[in-house]
Amino acid sequence: MLGAPLAAAAQTSGFPWPAGKRFAVSLSFDDARLSQIDVGQRLLADLKLKATFYVSIPAMLKRLAGWEQMIRDGHEIGNHSFTHPCTGNYRFTRPLEDFSIEEIAADIDRATAEIESQLGVRPKSFAYPCGQKFIGRGRAARSYVPLIADRFQTGRGYYDEMPNVPSVCDMAALMGTHGDGLEFPAWKGILDKAAGEGRWVIFAGHEIGQLGHQITSTETLRAFAAYAGDPANGVWLDTVSAIGSYVATHRA
Ligand SMILES: [Zn+2]
């Protein structure tokens, strides 16, 4: 009878996560905010949590030795563009609406070159600044997802509603789950649901410190480390590139 396995597949993703794992989680942090080094480096090492850091170059240069330590600690460094362009509605950068594909490509490649020359690693992962994946406006607007697919193993969005279904997700447009400003029970609600459905949650945060706007709480991270460390929860925690490699090679 096919009924039972099909019903099970409809409930879970049906994706072959490694033995004993029900779902996957990546922690990611954007912009090379200084608290990621000043607070996060020691905390993540103590908690044995690995993360992916999508760095902004000017901020990265302010804590270069700290970022070298992050790499030695096993964290991943990702590209987050050089000038962090977002829609003009945000009013803090040159608007994406005014970019050409060639200009956004040059901005991203400039960041890769800086990361390689300063830290000696070539980023495999990219996070879209503000989660926005277009350039131009109206009939001239274009997606820049293909450009990310050409250059990186993964591209991550921001403030997306659902975590990734590994069998169907676009590796160049992965869903990013907002993780800042939440106490652990809110994370646990997201995690328990993802576990039941075999999904891949990629939390996206900014500062690391006391709970607040654009701050992932140290207490939430401590509680998450305990949760992830309990084998009964079936969590596979790893960097975006580690889980991305697995997903890319284990789906039909
Ligand atoms: Zn950012």
Centre of ligand 1 from the C-alpha of residue 57, in Å: 11
Centre of ligand 1 from the C-alpha of residue 10, in Å: 35
Would you state the pLDDT for residue 218? 98
**Identity of the amino acid at 227:** Y
Question: Where do the structural domains in the chain lie, given as residue ranges?
Answer: 23-227
| Segment 180-197 mean pLDDT | 98
142 vs 101: CA distance, rounded Å: 8
101 is written with which tokens? Answer: 């594909």
Tens of pLDDT, residue by residue over 62-110, are 999 999 999 999 999 999 999 999 999 998 889 999 999 999 999 999 9
Tens of pLDDT, residue by residue over 227-242, are 999 999 999 999 999 9
| Segment 105-124 mean pLDDT | 98
Centre of ligand 1 from the C-alpha of residue 128, in Å: 8
Strands, DSSP E only, in 31-132? 51-55, 76-79, 125-127
How does the average pLDDT of the chain come out, rounded? Answer: 95
176 vs 26: CA distance, rounded Å: 10
The architecture of the domain spanning 23-227 is Alpha-Beta Barrel (3.20)
Centre of ligand 1 from the C-alpha of residue 14, in Å: 33
Centre of ligand 1 from the C-alpha of residue 84, in Å: 6
What DSSP line would sit under 131-188, residue for residue? G--EES-GGG-EE-HHHHHHH-SEEE-SS-SS-B-TTT--TTSB--EE-TT--HHHHH
Centre of ligand 1 from the C-alpha of residue 213, in Å: 14
Centre of ligand 1 from the C-alpha of residue 92, in Å: 11
Centre of ligand 1 from the C-alpha of residue 248, in Å: 25
Would you state the pLDDT for residue 58? 96
